[in-house]
A and B are shown apart, each in its own frame.
Chain A
Amino acid sequence: MKQLLILSGKGGTGKTTVAAAFIKLSSCDTFADCDVDAPNLHLLMNQETVPQTTDFYGMDKYVINQHKCIACGLCFTSCRYDAINKDDGIYKINDIACEGCSVCEYVCPVDAISLKPNISGELVLYKSDVIFSTGKLATGGGNSGLLVTEVKNALGKNTNESLEIIDGSPGIGCPVLASMSGASLVLLVTEPTLSGYSDMTRIASTARKLRLPTAVCINKVTTDGRIVNKIIDYCTEYDLPMIGTIPYDNQVAVNINKGLTIVDTDCEAGRAVAKIYENIIELLN
Chain B
Amino acid sequence: MKIAVLSGKGGTGKTFCTVNIAASQPGSTYVDCDIEEPNGHLFLKPEKVIEEDVEVFFPVVDKLVCDGCRKCVDFCKFNAMGFVGDNVIIFNDICHSCGGCALVCPQHAISDVPKKVGTILQGVSGTNKVITGMLEIGQESGVPIIKEIESKLKNNEDLVFVDCAPGTSCAAVESVQNADFCLLVAEPTIFGAHNLEMIYDLVKSLNKPCGVVLNKSIGGYNPSLEYCENQNIPIMGEIFYDFELGKMNSEALVAVWEDIKYQTIFNGIFQKIMKEANNETITNS
A: residues with CB less than 8 A from B are 10-13, 16, 35, 37-38, 40, 43, 59-60, 78, 80-82, 96-97, 99-103, 106-107, 137, 139-143, 170-174, 192-195, 198-199, 222-224, 226-227, 248, 250, 253-254, 256-257, 259
List of B residues within 8 angstroms of A143 by Cβ: 169
Q: Which of B25-33, B46-54, B121-129, B217-225 contacts A (4 or more CB under 8 A)?
A: B217-225
Count: A-B pairs, CB below 8 Å: 132
State whether A222 and B96 are in contact (beta carbons under 8 Å apart), knowing that A38-B9, A106-B104 are contacts in the complex.
Answer: no
Determine which residue in A10, A60, A195, A222 has the highest number of CB atoms from chain B within 10 A of its CB, and name it. A195
List of A residues within 8 angstroms of B201 by Cβ: 139
- The 8 A CB mask of B152-189 against A (1 = contact, 0 = none) is 00000000000000111110010000000000000111
Contact (Cβ within 8 A) B37 A12 = no
> In the complex, which of the residues A11, A59, A224 contacts B250, with contact meaning CB atoms closer than 8 Å?
A224
Q: How far is the CB of A91 from chain B (nearest CB, A)?
A: 18
Does B63 touch A at the CB level, under 8 Å?
Answer: no
- The 8 A CB mask of B91-128 against A (1 = contact, 0 = none) is 00000111110011000000000000000000000000
* A96–B170 CA distance with the chains assembled, in angstroms: 7
* A59–B20 CA distance with the chains assembled, in angstroms: 39
Further pairs besides A11-B11, A139-B201, A172-B37: 15, Cβ < 8 Å: A37-B167, A38-B8, A38-B9, A40-B191, A59-B77, A101-B77, A102-B75, A140-B173, A141-B168, A194-B39, A194-B251, A198-B37, A226-B251, A227-B250, A259-B190
> In the complex, which of the residues B9, B11, B36, B42 contacts A173, with contact meaning CB atoms closer than 8 Å?
B36
Q: Which residue of B lies closest to A259 (CB)?
A: B190
Q: What are 28 A-B residue pairs whose CB atoms fall within 8 Å in the complex?
A: A10-B11, A11-B9, A11-B10, A38-B8, A59-B77, A80-B97, A80-B99, A96-B170, A96-B173, A97-B170, A99-B98, A101-B77, A101-B100, A106-B100, A139-B198, A139-B205, A140-B169, A171-B10, A172-B37, A173-B36, A194-B39, A194-B251, A194-B252, A195-B15, A195-B37, A223-B243, A226-B251, A227-B250
Contact (Cβ within 8 A) B100 A139 = no
Q: How far is the CB of A171 from chain B (nearest CB, A)?
A: 6
Interface size in chain B (residues, C-beta < 8 A): 51
> In the complex, which of the residues B99, B140, B243 contacts A103, with contact meaning CB atoms closer than 8 Å?
B99
Contact (Cβ within 8 A) B10 A12 = yes
Q: How far is the CB of B126 from chain A (nearest CB, A)?
A: 20
Q: How far is the CB of A12 from chain B (nearest CB, A)?
A: 2
Q: How far is the CB of A255 from chain B (nearest CB, A)?
A: 10
In the A-B complex, list the 8 residue pairs whose CB atoms are closest, starting with the nearest: A12-B11, A11-B10, A101-B98, A11-B11, A38-B9, A37-B167, A11-B9, A139-B168
Contact (Cβ within 8 A) A139 B202 = yes
Determine which residue in A80, A172, A254 has the highest number of CB atoms from chain B within 10 A of its CB, and name it. A80
Determine which residue in B12, B189, B202, B205 has the highest number of CB atoms from chain A within 10 A of its CB, and name it. B189
Does B208 touch A at the CB level, under 8 Å?
Answer: no
Contact (Cβ within 8 A) A10 B37 = yes
* A38–B243 CA distance with the chains assembled, in angstroms: 27
B: residues with CB less than 8 A from A are 8-12, 15, 36-37, 39, 42, 75, 77-78, 96-100, 103-104, 140, 143, 147, 166-170, 173, 187-191, 194-195, 198, 201-202, 205, 218, 220-221, 223, 243, 246-247, 249-252
List of A residues within 8 angstroms of B191 by Cβ: 16, 40, 43, 256
Q: Which residue of A lies closest to B198 (CB)?
A: A38
Q: How far is the CB of A106 from chain B (nearest CB, A)?
A: 6
Q: How far is the CB of A134 from chain B (nearest CB, A)?
A: 12
Q: How far is the CB of A154 from chain B (nearest CB, A)?
A: 21
* A80–B102 CA distance with the chains assembled, in angstroms: 13
Q: Which residue of B lies closest to A197 (CB)?
A: B250
Q: Which residue of B lies closest to A250 (CB)?
A: B218
Contact (Cβ within 8 A) A195 B194 = no
Contact (Cβ within 8 A) A37 B75 = no
List of A residues within 8 angstroms of B194 by Cβ: 38, 40, 43
> In the complex, which of the residues A37, A43, A97 contacts B9, with contact meaning CB atoms closer than 8 Å?
A37
> In the complex, which of the residues A137, A170, A254, A257 contacts B10, with contact meaning CB atoms closer than 8 Å?
A170
